[in-house]
């Protein structure tokens, strides 16, 4: 359609241009014809006379009869026209012609002005249209204006021609802009089509992976889908249909998942209530005659741990359940506090520490040095964690007091941030002074006095408060750098009192070679034992030449790292490896034994876990009433108990086999070693 419109537009343009050119040619032709007629009508001249300009239509007017007769007489007599007619008559004809020419010229000028006004109005209207974006309307209006130009008044005026060209340029520019608009629109449609296909793929992947919990992600996809409007013609219906099918499938499965979730929440509620009943029962066992409070507390804490591991419950039951859970803990702690003297003393100590920390935190707001107080807040928090635990109720109360005090200080610190910055800057200046002193002392040859000076500087450094965070690391490096220079010089000066440095270097290189060999040893555990002896020898040797110090130390660390990395790679096998090595069992057999021991340990843990689950299932059965639902739950628990018993029997049988295999390997390993 657009191509057809463009072709029509181009055709109209060419037609209009041809008509304009034809009009100009016709006007030119009429002028040339008029001039020729005037030249033919002019009489022969004997003397030169000024030519008279005549209007274009003079050739078409009839010559007066008197003039015609005068010409005829002149031709017959052979006399010139000037002699055939009186001078007065010739003068009268010339004045009339000039008047008529002036009238024709005025009419021509009026016609040109009318044409220019006509085309100027068209151009102004075109300018108003081309800035609009109603493409169809503007296209139609411009076509109408083009038709008006084609049918408009003919004029040879240069201004009229310029106006026509200006109109045509406006129309051409509009057509180009319209073309670019529709090209951009089509590009956007294709881009939207690609986006929708990508969203469709993402939704399809979620369905194929059966990720029915991806509600948030699907909601996001749906929102993006609805925001994409423009699409290529004929694409929207099929895409929307497929999208709806996938959304319906997801919603159906989401409902199923929610039903299962609600069922699971009901089961979790029953299990949590069961655990709370057990916690109540343990609380009732607490009295002055309780033989072992620690054991009872362990049982209570295990129930708490199990309770926390159970998943979600129905939302309307959640808060009442938590209230009961907290109440049970408070009751247990209160009863134990009354009947257990040791526990009471432990709680009182922790409470006393935390009260003291609260007072210290409350006093922070009164300190002038905000920078020092800010550093102390971190220390108080660390001390709080190490002060010991309190019953939950008391813990919450004390924590609220402590947090309120630190929050109050932090507010005060924020209000006085400028003052804090000033104090940090002052501390920074003090530390720069210490750096200056350290720089001056680092080159002293009095190493005893220098050592005392450096220790004093370090003590003063620690007492100065914090500095701006961005400067902290920078100034510490400068300060420590000065100290390192001093102590490196000090160590260098003391080397003369030890063995010859070159000899020490050779000895250390010999040890390095031995350490490198141990890094390839078949028995990492044995290699570590040998390496420890060599490490001690290495340290005892003393200093080496200063130029070799870093290099020899680097080689030493690398050699040791290889040995210990191989040893650490054994992980939890280290103890087993060492024990078996001490028994004289060869490395290959040790590996087989360790592998079996790992399997045995895992089986033991599995058996212990299954036995614990069986006990819980058996106890849980006693809490269900003999109702239809209760009996169903009992049957379900019994199935789990039977399954656990069968699994335990299988694992215990495998444990027996493993023990036999380990014994056999140990005997084989011992005999091989003896041989």
Q: Which of 608, 572, 599, 580 is nearest to 658 (CA)?
A: 599
Report pLDDT for 166: 92
All residue ranges of the chain with pLDDT < 50 are 1-8, 11-91, 93, 673-675
Residue 135 CB-density burial (10 A; 0-12 exposed, 13-18 middle, 19+ buried):
middle
- Angle, nearest 10°, between helix axes 158-208 and 87-130? 10
Intra-chain end-to-end CA distance of the chain, in Å: 100
Cβ–Cβ < 8 Å for 508, 544: yes
Q: Which of 548, 550, 549, 512 is nearest to 531 (CA)?
A: 512
Q: What is the pLDDT of residues 620-648, one digit of tens each?
A: 666 565 666 667 777 787 888 888 888 98
Report pLDDT for 41: 36
Cβ–Cβ < 8 Å for 115, 155: yes
Cβ–Cβ < 8 Å for 326, 392: yes
Show Cβ contacts of residue 355 under 8 Å, excluding neighbours closer than 6 positions: 398
- 587: helix, coil or strand? helix
- Please report, to the nearest 10 degrees, the dihedral formed by the alpha carbons of residues 91, 95, 98, 100 taken in order: -130
Report pLDDT for 496: 57
Write down the residue that tokens 């000899």 correspond to.
Answer: 503
| Three-class DSSP labels, 94-127 | HHHHHHHHHHHHHHHHHHHHHHHHHHHHHHHHHH
Q: Using CA atoms, how far apart are residues 312 and 304, in angstroms rounded to an integer?
A: 15
Cβ–Cβ < 8 Å for 125, 174: no
Task: Share the mean pLDDT of the chain.
Answer: 77
Report pLDDT for 284: 85
Q: Using CA atoms, how far apart are residues 390 and 398, in angstroms rounded to an integer?
A: 9
Q: What is the pLDDT of residues 532-557, one digit of tens each?
A: 888 888 888 877 777 788 888 889 88
pTM of this structure: 0.33
Q: Which of 380, 382, 388 is nearest to 347 (CA)?
A: 388
DSSP for 425-491? HHHHHHHHHHHHHHHHHTT-S-HHHHHHHHHHHHHHHHHS----HHHHHHHHHHHHHHHHHHHHHHH
The alpha carbon dihedral of 649, 650, 653, 659 has a sign of: negative
Q: Using CA atoms, how far apart are residues 268 and 279, in angstroms rounded to an integer?
A: 16
């Amino acid at each position: 359609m657009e191509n057809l419109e463009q072709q029509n537009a181009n055709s109209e343009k060419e037609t209009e241009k041809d008509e304009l050119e034809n009009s100009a040619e016709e006007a030119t032709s009429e002028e040339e014809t008029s001039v020729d007629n005037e030249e033919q009508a002019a009489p022969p001249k004997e003397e030169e006379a000024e030519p008279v300009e005549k209007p274009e239509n003079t050739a078409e007017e009839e010559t007066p009869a008197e003039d015609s007769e005068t010409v005829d007489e002149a031709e017959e007599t052979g006399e010139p026209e000037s002699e055939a007619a009186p001078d007065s008559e010739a003068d009268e004809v010339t004045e009339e012609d000039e008047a008529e020419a002036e009238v024709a010229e005025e009419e021509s000028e009026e016609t040109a002005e009318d044409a220019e006004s006509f085309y100027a109005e068209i151009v102004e209207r075109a300018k108003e249209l081309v800035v609009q974006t109603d493409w169809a309307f503007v296209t139609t209006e411009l076509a109408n204006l083009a038709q008006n130009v084609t049918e408009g008044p003919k004029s040879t005026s240069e201004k009229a021609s310029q106006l026509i060209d200006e109109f045509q340029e406006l129309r051409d520019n509009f057509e180009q802009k319209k073309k670019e608009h529709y090209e951009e629109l089509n590009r956007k449609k294709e881009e939207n089509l690609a986006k929708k296909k990508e969203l469709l793929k993402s939704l399809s992947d979620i369905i194929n992976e059966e990720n029915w919990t991806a509600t948030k992600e699907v909601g996001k996809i749906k929102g993006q889908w609805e925001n994409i409007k423009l699409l290529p013609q004929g694409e929207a219906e099929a895409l929307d249909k497929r999208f709806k099918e996938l959304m319906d499938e997801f919603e159906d499965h989401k409902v199923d998942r929610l039903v299962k979730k609600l069922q699971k929440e009901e089961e979790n509620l029953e299990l949590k209530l069961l655990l709370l009943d057990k916690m109540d029962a343990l609380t009732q066992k607490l009295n002055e005659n309780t033989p072992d409070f620690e054991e009872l507390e362990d049982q209570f804490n295990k129930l708490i741990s199990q309770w926390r591991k159970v998943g979600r419950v129905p939302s309307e039951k959640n808060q009442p359940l938590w209230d009961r859970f907290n109440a049970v803990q408070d009751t247990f702690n209160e009863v134990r506090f009354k009947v257990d003297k040791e526990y009471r003393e432990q709680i009182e100590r922790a409470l006393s520490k935390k009260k003291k920390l609260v007072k210290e935190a409350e006093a922070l707001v009164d300190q002038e040095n905000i920078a020092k107080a800010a550093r102390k807040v971190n220390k108080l928090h660390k001390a709080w964690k190490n002060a010991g635990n309190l019953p939950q109720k008391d813990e919450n109360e004390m924590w609220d007091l402590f947090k309120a005090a630190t929050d109050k200080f932090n507010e005060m610190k924020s209000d006085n941030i400028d003052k804090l910055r000033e104090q940090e800057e002052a501390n920074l200046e003090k530390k720069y002074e210490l750096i200056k002193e350290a720089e001056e002392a680092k080159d002293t040859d009095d190493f005893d006095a220098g050592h005392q000076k450096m220790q004093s500087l370090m003590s003063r450094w620690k007492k100065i408060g914090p500095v701006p965070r961005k400067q902290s690391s920078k100034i510490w490096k400068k300060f420590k750098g000065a100290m390192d220079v001093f102590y490196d010089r000090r160590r260098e000066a003391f080397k003369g009192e030890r063995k010859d440095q070159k000899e020490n270097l050779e000895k250390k290189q010999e040890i390095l070679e031995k350490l490198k060999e141990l890094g390839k040893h078949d028995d990492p555990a044995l290699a570590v034992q040998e390496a420890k002896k060599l490490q001690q020898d290495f340290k005892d040797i003393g200093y080496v030449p200063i130029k070799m110090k870093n290099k020899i130390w680097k080689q030493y660390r690398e050699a040791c790292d290889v040995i210990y990395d191989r040893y650490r790679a054994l992980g939890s096998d280290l103890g087993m490896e060492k024990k078996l090595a001490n028994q004289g069992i060869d490395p290959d057999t040790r590996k087989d034994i360790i592998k079996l021991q790992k399997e045995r340990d895992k089986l033991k843990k599995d058996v212990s876990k299954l036995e614990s689950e069986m006990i819980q299932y058996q106890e849980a059965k006693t809490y269900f009433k003999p109702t239809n639902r209760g009996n169903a739950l009992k049957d379900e628990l019994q199935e789990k108990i039977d399954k656990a018993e069968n699994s335990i029997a299988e694992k215990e049988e495998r444990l027996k086999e493993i023990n036999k295999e380990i014994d056999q390997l140990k005997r084989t390993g011992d005999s091989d070693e003896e041989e």
